[in-house]
Amino acid sequence: MMSVVGHRIGIDLEEAQIPSSAEVDQLVRESVHDAGGAVHGYLWVPYQPQGDTYIWAVSMSHIVIHTWPEKKVLTVDVFSCQSDGKDLMGRIVARVPHGRARKCAYR
C-alpha cells in the first residue's frame, strides 16, 4: 500500500467578485507568505473572451486557480506535501469576496 505523499483540497467559490490578474497573484503570494511558505514560480494563462488559469509552484507544493467571470466562479486547488493544506486554502478563500464556497470532489 502506498503511503500518503500529500493532501489535495479543491474549493469552488460561487458568486465571486473575480479579482484582476494582479490581485489574484498578490492575494496568493500574501497567503503563501502568511502560511510560512514561499513562491518559486508562477504562470498566468488568460483566455478569450474571458477567464484565466493561474499556477504557482510553492514551497508547500502547488496552487492552481481557474476563473469564469461570466459565471462569477473562481476555483482554488491546493496540493500540499507539508500539511493538510487547510490553513493555506483558508487564507486564499478569505481574500476573495464570494457568496458560497463548495468543496470539490476529486474522482
What span, in angstroms and rounded, lies between the C-alpha atoms of 21 and 73? 15
Query: Could you tell me where the beta strands, DSSP code E, fall in 16-83?
Result: 39-46, 52-58, 61-68, 73-80
pLDDT at residue 85, as a whole number: 85
Position 46 scores a pLDDT of: 97
Q: What are the pLDDT digits (tens) for 31-44?
A: 999 999 999 999 99
Phi, psi for residue 23 in degrees, rounded to 5:
-70, -40
Q: What is the pLDDT of residue 107?
A: 47
Q: Any residues with CB less than 8 A from the CB of 39 and at least 6 apart, and which? A: 28, 29, 32, 56, 57, 58
Evaluate whether 13 touches 96 at the Cβ level (below 8 Å): yes
State pTM to two decimals: 0.91
